[in-house]
Structure formats: C-alpha cells, structure tokens
Amino acid sequence: MWEKFSKMYREKNQLSLLTWAYAIISIAVVIMAGLIALINQSVGVAILIIPLVAIAAMCANVIVWSLIRFLLQTYETKEKAKQRAAKRAVKKSKS
C-alpha cells in the first residue's frame, strides 16, 4: 500500500493522494466515532460531523482541481496553436 502511495507521489499525482488522504481520514474517524458511540452515543454521533466535513472538503478540492487543470490545458492548447502559427509564418516568410 505504501509503495502505491510513494509511486503516486513520484508521479506527482497529487489529486489521487489527496483523495486517498481524505478517504483514509474519513474511514478512521467513522470507526473511531462508532467505538466512542458504544460508550457515549451523543458524543459518537457528534464526531460523525468530522467525516462529513472531510467529504465536503474533498468534493470542493476535486472541483477546484478540475477547474484549474481545465484552465491550464486550455491555456496550453492556445499557446501551442500560437507557436505553430508563428512557425508557419516564419516558414512562409523564408520561402
């Protein structure tokens, strides 16, 4: 499991790492809340708010990450098109 995470880190796949981190934290807190609920039900239920907030934060991060990647890819595509047009113009002027 750690090898998979280290591979994702080396490949700079931060979104996957972030998603896994939120999932692990959420699952751990749900288990902890369940154990605490065996002792004191109201405290265990109150702790369940933490994974809900983590899931909401993960969703927000995924949306923002997707928007940023989309904007960067759009910008890169436009820049590549400009560079190709400039190269064509240089070739035409030389001919």
Number of domain units in the chain: 1
5 has a pLDDT exceeding 90: no
The pLDDT tens digits for 18-57 are 777 888 888 898 899 999 999 999 998 888 888 888 888 8
- Check residue 10 and give its pLDDT: 67
21 vs 49: CA distance, rounded Å: 17
Domain range holding 24? 2-94
Residues 6+ apart with CB under 8 A from 15: 61, 62, 65
| Percent over 90 (pLDDT), the chain | 9
Q: At 50, is the secondary structure helix, strand, or coil?
A: helix
Average pLDDT score over residue span 7-17: 67
| Predicted structure pTM score | 0.59
12 vs 18: CA distance, rounded Å: 11
